[in-house]
């Protein structure tokens, strides 16, 4: 439990004045601001030394007070109320406390009182601050980004500090002192905390109503969230300003939309980034990299991207190539490009301290490395030995880093992989590293370091490829990282419990504003095996980021490493992902517009179904596919919960099952349970191409899953060149499908927006109806007979209207 015994509580409000956006109050020695951001969002800020920090972190990327919002202030003897259409903020004067309720009176946040009846709206101790809030034991907590353990955070406590998890030095302070048997004392445990990414944003779900509120504390210092007590929870940060955005909800999707309006959303990624990625930390040569590419093509295993870990460099010096192993990088990249492969290399922030090494010399000359309090060049210890670190807090360092990345990718690389950016400093403590040319203590920007590194990297890629969409993968991050990079879940292990961990962790990422995530398929550390690898591949191909990655010294875990039987099943899993790319890509574009996750915990779509509160071994992939991975060896079946709705179709058998029930799904080695939502229209390619490079389908299948009850359902298909930013100007086709059932009559409207694009090749839709066997489909007044199990509907981007009788 978070100990707040010695914190000094703020107890009285001395005065309250109205402002253009809310109120400002004199509270003890500080000033409190309540600002209305939107009808359902308020910001509460406490000054430090009487002054406000208007930009405490780099997370918020907009002016939160730019939009005028109607509100009024009501004064009473005991409190001042700020009232909008959706919420009421009650500022109690003596004793001081802050409560927020919706306009219907239901609670959003309420200040907790201790055993003596003293309220804890705000308290401080030596630059730290804390707030304490009321809850019920039956309530649920979701979010906080990359956290281990169960998806529901209630009953546990968490530290917000980006950590190199498998480093015994970095993780040691968090494993030390744990009681025997406490899994958090083992850094390889699925309960260990903290991980690589810090996102101080969570949802509080109230029991029994199911309504949700949200909280984002805009603070980059080390933080603690303690949800272990039954009737209250505590939030504390070691320094910085208390700035909290409070979201009234009550629906989770609306809270996430509001949060990502503040912190930004993912840009539409290049299509190739959604394909299959092959990576390994290995001492490759140019020849062996090319051979891996050839092997995928020879075996018919779709693959878009090959990755190079640290061994490609000259002595681990970033932005260099080992000239013996890679005598002609540009030639290799050209050869692989001709085969439809992109290549990505790893880049760490640590720059080898090596006079005569151009990157180090230039960094010293420009004064863009981090220093210590005494003005020394800060030195840490990473792969190349002694290393300096760019001071990404300064614009000069970010611009310089961008230039280096721009030069690096001009050889033909497709993107950049940011690793070790917590920042990891090995056996040398990171605390002496200061930022802003020595002005700021390490603690202020530690959690934001990876965010700033990704910001610099993206600027460099845009400089080198201004018309191309960027792709950056980052290990660490902070709130807002989704604007610049995807995340993977770091150094996991080749164990069944780590396969399960990726499900809950990926879902936590998604509802925390970062939709582009995935775990290393097969596990990074340790030796995988045939069954584990296959089950992980079947699951991993149905996650947003799909990369097979493993550590040097482990057994091979390529798609072909366990013989033809596993190879064929792995190929089938990858082919399914490629055939689903129209559906997946459309989900990504939707996410870029709304912030909604792609790997969606069940609670996101079925918030008011009490069953799903603690359900974290299945998820929705996009809006309409329910995925239930196999998480244990030898499993031949597993239980799956199907929420209420218009029915669920077993993807493999096409059987229609009612929602609102648990079912036992078969799990032979060739499949994991997948269910399609009744009412959905799932667009697919007819075949799986070996690569997305240059591929533009002439026919797109529309899998129509007939709903089991009357009503309508909306689905989407987005088509563009998948590579450039031309779609931002309208160079795309966006088709909205509205499927409606009235008794035995089914109608499908396809409405199209966009100007098209030069690479567009589609000539027809192949409509496949699940849940019915009509002989004809009436399209725009004309009848089309069934052929090859479906209906061929000519369409070159114009849309159509279809109906059939079941």
SS3 letters across 564-599: HHHHHHHHHHHHHHHHCHHHHHHHHHHHHHHCCCCE
Q: Which of 218, 348, 491, 596 is catalytic?
A: 491
Compute CA 172 distance to the chain's CA centroid, rounded to the nearest angstrom: 27
564 carries an active-site annotation: no
491 carries an active-site annotation: yes
Task: Please check whether residue 161 is in contact with residue 446, taking contact to mean a CB–CB distance below 8 angstroms.
Answer: yes
Nearest residue to 28 via CA among 101, 87, 94: 94
Looking only at the bridges linking them, the beta strands covering 477-478 and 197-198 are parallel
422 carries an active-site annotation: yes
Q: What letters, b where the CB count within 10 A reaches 16 and e where it falls short, cover 307-316?
A: bbbbbbbbeb
Give residue for tokens 């919960």: 641
Q: Which of 146, 322, 422, 459 is catalytic?
A: 422
Paired strand residues for 674: 627
End-to-end CA distance of the chain: 59
Paired strand residues for 804: 746
Phi, psi of 505 (to 5 degrees): -70, -40
DSSP string of 3-49, one letter each residue? --TT-EE---EEEEEE-SSEEEEEETTEEEEEEEEETTEEEEEE-BT
Other beta carbons within 10 Å of 51: 10
SS3 letters across 73-123: EEECCCEEEEECCCEEEEEEECCEEEEEEECCCCEEEEECECCCCCECCCE
Alpha-carbon dihedral 557, 558, 564, 565, rounded to 10 degrees: 50
Tokens for 162? Answer: 């980006």
Q: Which of 419, 459, 551, 795 is catalytic?
A: 419
CA 618, CA 500: separation in Å to the nearest integer? 10
Give residue for tokens 């929705």: 620
What 22-28 contacts at long range (C-beta under 8 Å, 24+ apart), as own/partner pairs, is: 22/71, 22/73, 22/82, 22/89, 23/73, 23/80, 23/82, 23/91, 25/80, 25/91, 27/96, 27/122, 28/96
CA 447, CA 403: separation in Å to the nearest integer? 24
CA 149, CA 191: separation in Å to the nearest integer? 5
CA 91, CA 234: separation in Å to the nearest integer? 19
Known catalytic residues? 419, 422, 491
């Amino acid at each position: 439990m978070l100990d707040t015994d010695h914190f000094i509580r703020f107890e009285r409000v001395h005065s309250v004045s109205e402002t253009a956006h809310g109120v400002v109050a004199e509270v003890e020695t500080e000033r409190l601001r309540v600002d209305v951001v939107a009808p359902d969002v308020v910001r509460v800020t406490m000054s430090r030394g009487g002054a406000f920090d208007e930009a405490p972190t780099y997370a918020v990327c907009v002016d939160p007070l730019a939009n005028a919002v109607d509100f009024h202030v009501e004064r009473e003897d005991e409190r001042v109320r700020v009232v909008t259409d959706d919420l009421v903020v009650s500022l109690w004067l003596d004793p001081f406390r802050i409560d927020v309720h919706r306009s219907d009176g239901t609670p959003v946040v309420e200040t907790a009182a201790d055993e003596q009846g003293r309220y804890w709206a705000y308290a401080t101790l030596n630059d730290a601050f804390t707030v304490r809030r009321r809850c019920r034991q039956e309530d649920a907590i979701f979010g906080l980004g990359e956290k281990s353990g169960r998806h529901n955070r209630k009953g546990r406590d968490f530290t917000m500090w980006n950590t190199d998890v498998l480093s015994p030095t970095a993780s040691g302070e968090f494993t030390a002192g744990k009681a025997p048997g406490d899994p958090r004392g083992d850094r390889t445990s699925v309960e260990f905390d903290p991980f690589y990414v810090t996102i101080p944003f969570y949802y509080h779900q109230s029991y029994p109503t199911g309504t949700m509120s949200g909280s984002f504390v805009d603070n980059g210092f080390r933080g603690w969230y303690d949800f272990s007590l039954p009737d209250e929870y505590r939030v504390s940060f070691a320094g910085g300003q208390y700035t909290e955005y409070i979201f009234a909800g009550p629906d989770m999707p609306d809270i996430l939309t509001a949060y990502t309006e503040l912190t930004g959303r993912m840009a539409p990624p290049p299509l190739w980034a959604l394909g299959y990625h092959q990576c390994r930390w290995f001492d490759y040569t140019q020849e062996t990299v090319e051979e891996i590419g050839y092997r995928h093509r020879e075996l018919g295993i779709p693959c878009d991207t090959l990755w190079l870990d640290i061994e490609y460099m000259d002595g681990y010096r970033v932005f260099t190539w080992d000239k013996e192993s890679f005598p002609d990088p540009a030639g290799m990249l050209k050869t692989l490009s001709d085969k439809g492969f992109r290549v990505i290399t790893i880049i760490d922030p640590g720059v080898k301290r090596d006079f005569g090494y151009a990157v180090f010399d230039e960094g010293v000359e420009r004064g863009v490395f981090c220093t210590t309090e005494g003005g020394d060049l800060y030195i840490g210890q990473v792969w190349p030995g002694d290393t300096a670190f760019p001071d990404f807090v300064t614009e000069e360092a970010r611009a310089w880093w961008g230039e280096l990345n721009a030069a690096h990718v001009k050889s033909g690389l497709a993107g950049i992989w940011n690793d070790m950016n917590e920042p990891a400093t090995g056996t040398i403590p990171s605390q002496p590293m200061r930022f802003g040319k020595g002005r700021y203590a390490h603690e202020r920007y530690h959690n934001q370091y990876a965010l700033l590194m990704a910001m610099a990297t993206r600027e460099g890629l845009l400089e080198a490829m201004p018309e191309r969409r960027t792709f950056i993968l980052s290990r660490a991050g902070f709130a807002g990282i989704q604007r610049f990079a995807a995340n993977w879940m770091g150094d996991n292990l080749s164990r069944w419990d780590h396969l399960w961990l990726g499900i809950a962790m990926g879902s936590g990422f998604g509802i925390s504003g970062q939709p582009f995530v995935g775990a290393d398929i097969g596990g990074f550390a340790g030796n995988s095996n045939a069954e584990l690898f296959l089950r992980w591949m079947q699951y991993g191909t149905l996650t947003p980021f799909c990369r097979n990655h493993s550590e040097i010294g482990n057994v091979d875990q390529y798609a072909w490493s366990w013989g033809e039987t596993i190879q064929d099943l792995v190929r089938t899993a990858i082919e399914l992902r490629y055939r689903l790319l129209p559906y997946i890509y459309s989900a990504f574009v939707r996410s870029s517009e709304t912030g909604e996750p792609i790997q969606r915990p069940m609670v996101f779509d079925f918030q008011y179904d009490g069953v799903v509160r603690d359900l974290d071994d299945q998820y929705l992939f996009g809006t309409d596919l329910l995925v239930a991975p196999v998480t244990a060896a030898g499993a031949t079946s597993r239980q799956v919960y199907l929420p209420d709705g218009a029915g669920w179709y077993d993807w493999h058998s096409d059987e229609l099952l009612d929602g609102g029930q648990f079912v036992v799904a078969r799990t032979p080695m060739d499949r994991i349970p997948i269910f399609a939502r009744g009412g959905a229209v799932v667009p697919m390619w007819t075949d799986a191409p070996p690569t997305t490079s240059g591929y533009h389908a002439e026919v797109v299948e529309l899998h129509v899953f007939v709903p089991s009850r009357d009503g309508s359902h909306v689905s989407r298909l987005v088509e563009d060149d998948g590579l450039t930013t031309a779609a931002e100007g309208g160079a795309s086709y966006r088709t909205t499908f509205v499927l409606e059932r009235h008794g035995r009559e089914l109608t499908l409207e396809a409405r199209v927006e966009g100007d098209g694009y030069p690479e567009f090749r589609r000539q027809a839709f192949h409509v496949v109806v699940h849940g019915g066997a009509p002989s004809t489909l009436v399209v725009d007044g004309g009848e089309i007979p069934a052929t090859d199990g479906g209906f061929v509907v000519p369409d070159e981007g114009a849309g159509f209207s279809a109906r059939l009788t079941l």
